[in-house]
Amino acid sequence: MFFPARFSLYALFVLVSSALALTTASWSNKQVLVMYDSSLTSPENVPADLFKVNEDFKLSFVDYSDEEAQLFLGEDAIYHHLVFLPSTKRTAAATGIVDKFKLLDFFNKGGNIVAVSSSENSLPESVRLFLNEAGIYPAPKGFVVDDHFDTVSVGADSLLEPRILPDAEVDKYDGTAALVGNNAFTFPLVKAPKTSYTVNPKDASLTAEKTWTLGEQGFLAAAFQGLNSARLAWVGSEQLLTKELVKWTFQEKGVLKLQFVEHYRADEPGLSNRTQYRIKNDVVYTAGVSEWKDGKWVPYVPATEDDVLQLSFKMLDPYHRLNLTILGPGASEENGPNDLNIFYVNFTTPDHHGMFTFELDYKRPGLTFIEDRRVVSVRHLANDEYKRSWDIPNSWLYMTSFAAVVVAWFLFVMNFMYIGEKRPTSAEKETTEKK
């Protein structure tokens, strides 16, 4: 009678111990799960060095046929990154991981995903549907990229986003292609040759209905980055799966961090991030930005002169939209190394009162997004803050006119009373009457 109770306690103990172990591991290591098809490869044949970016990464391998595998422990993701390798089957038994809605939840919680297709095999249907949500539409299983006149190859002229995929050289491409939707956060990485097409080699005739892509309409690799900066990368062949692409997807490169934001009146630099300004105040706005590179934070420098951070000072519409200038490097910690660049701009608040927003919105392909909003109020002048009459140049005309009227009136009164014809006295009046 006591055996079931002891067994339940033991199972609970094992479950709690596993949860604690996974939680501890997730804090100390970055967990990477590689999904593979045992009929195509084995964990020993998977290029572990490609996915193990550094010593902080820990790899786990799960077969698509593992029905017990799970992606979440409660509401928390067990892994930081997922890798999906090609599979021979349309559906996967590991529904605890290979599920469209679970993948969406994983991505929305900040998880990163790498998906790899091939010329002979494809990804499970749930993974393909997840890619469709991101605007990436891989060709069906068995579709390959071919060319009318030449061998399909990949070179520097085929690459579209050097920040994400800086280099890739493939003399003879053996893989598939995808269509990419019109999504601002989807980035085509490698374009197909102009004379290429994607079809199933088993089809006897080449028709528009049986063709997945034509020419540069197709892409051999694509990426997507969500508003939460979670990343997704898809490649049509293992030939394009490079270390740099994996590092970008796993957020080991192209990661920006907003270290601080300050705004203050130019005549009161010691009082920053105030909540109220006055119309026509001179304001200074500063921001510190770092970039994660080679395992440490370094000052961020935009790639080109045209690539600038912009500040919008807006109510409903921007009253000011200003480019920020690099002031110089700085440190995020006292007495620490220079790990950020300080950007600044000076401007004058508009002659309009109301609620305004300091908005910094910096979104560039290949970089994590920076968004910061600070709401402040802008008031009118107080009664004792208006200029006196003598401080306004245009008022001198009216003040002069007023002074001229006063002086003229004073002279008129003086003339009337003292300078005009003398009035006769009573004695003079009597003498005049006797005559």
pLDDT in tens, 252-296: 999 999 999 999 999 998 889 999 999 999 999 999 999 999 889
Torsion angles phi and psi, residue 265, rounded to 5: -75, 145
Torsion angles phi and psi, residue 385, rounded to 5: -105, -5
- Residue 319: is its pLDDT beyond 80? yes
User: How is domain 255-379 classified at the architecture level of CATH?
Assistant: Sandwich (2.60)
The CATH number of the structural domain formed by 26-250 is 3.40.50
131-154 average pLDDT score: 93
Between 148 and 71, the higher pLDDT residue: 71
Q: Where are the domains of the chain?
A: 26-250, 255-379
pLDDT value of position 389: 66
- Element housing 354 (H / E): strand 354-362
pLDDT value of position 382: 83
Across the chain, what does the average pLDDT equal? 88
> What is the model's pTM?
0.81
31-38 average pLDDT score: 95
pLDDT value of position 420: 60
**How many CB atoms lie under 10 A from the CB of residue 167?**
10
15, 23 contact by CB (below 8 A):
no
- CA pair distance 217, 194, nearest whole angstrom: 8
Paired strand residues for 84:
35, 115
pLDDT value of position 432: 65
Confidence of residue 425 (pLDDT cuts 50, 70, 90): low
Between 287 and 148, the higher pLDDT residue: 287
Structure tokens at 75: 């509401």
Q: Which of 338, 313, 333, 335 is nearest to 323 (CA)?
A: 313
- CA pair distance 386, 166, nearest whole angstrom: 59
Report how far apart the first and last C-alpha atoms of the chain are (Å, whole number).
Answer: 157
- CA pair distance 253, 293, nearest whole angstrom: 6
Share of the chain above pLDDT 90, in %: 72
pLDDT value of position 390: 65
159-169 average pLDDT score: 93
Between 304 and 222, the higher pLDDT residue: 222
Bridge pairing between strands 231-235 and 112-116: parallel
Share of the chain above pLDDT 70, in %: 89
**How many CB atoms lie under 10 A from the CB of residue 397?**
9
Confidence of residue 351 (pLDDT cuts 50, 70, 90): very high
pLDDT value of position 10: 40
Residue range 69-127, pLDDT digits in tens = 999 999 999 999 999 999 999 999 999 999 999 999 999 999 999 999 999 999 999 99
What's the Cα-to-Cα distance from 67 to each of 62, 64, 115, 181, 365, rounded to whole Å?
10, 8, 20, 33, 37
Residue range 194-231, pLDDT digits in tens = 999 999 988 767 777 789 999 999 999 999 999 999 99
- CA pair distance 30, 106, nearest whole angstrom: 15
- Residue 15: is its pLDDT beyond 60? no
- Residue 146: is its pLDDT beyond 60? yes
**Helix residue ranges per DSSP H, 53-211:** 100-108, 125-133
What's the Cα-to-Cα distance from 109 to each of 47, 87, 99, 222, rounded to whole Å?
27, 26, 15, 21
Distance of CA 20 to the CA centre of its chain: 33
